Amino acid sequence: TKEIYGVIPYIAPEIFIREKYTTVSDIYSFGMIMWEMTTGQKPFYDRNHDEYLILDILN
């Protein structure tokens, strides 16, 4: 399928540009979970989770 499922801050950038899902993608997502656990804040907590956030992540 061509749909992406998940929560934007936890999805690895390469997934947004339709690259293959790899172990590196898992490491990125795990890193975002660790960020939340160590800081007590969700990644990009102060942003709308929309297409503009995706564009900023890709830059």
- The pLDDT tens digits for 6-58 are 999 999 999 999 998 899 999 999 999 999 999 999 999 999 999 999 999 99
Give how many domains the chain has, as a whole number: 1
The residue segments making up the domain with residue 13 are: 8-58
How far apart, in whole angstroms, are the C-alpha atoms of residue 30 and residue 59? 20
- pTM, entire model: 0.85
How many Å apart are CA 59 and CA 53, to the nearest integer?
10
- Name which of 22, 6, 1, 21 is nearest 54 in CA terms: 6
Residue 1 lies inside a defined structural domain of this protein: no
| Unique residue bearing structure tokens 């061509």 | 2
- Asked whether residue 3 is domain-assigned, the answer is no
pLDDT band at 1 (very low <50, low <70, confident <90, very high): low
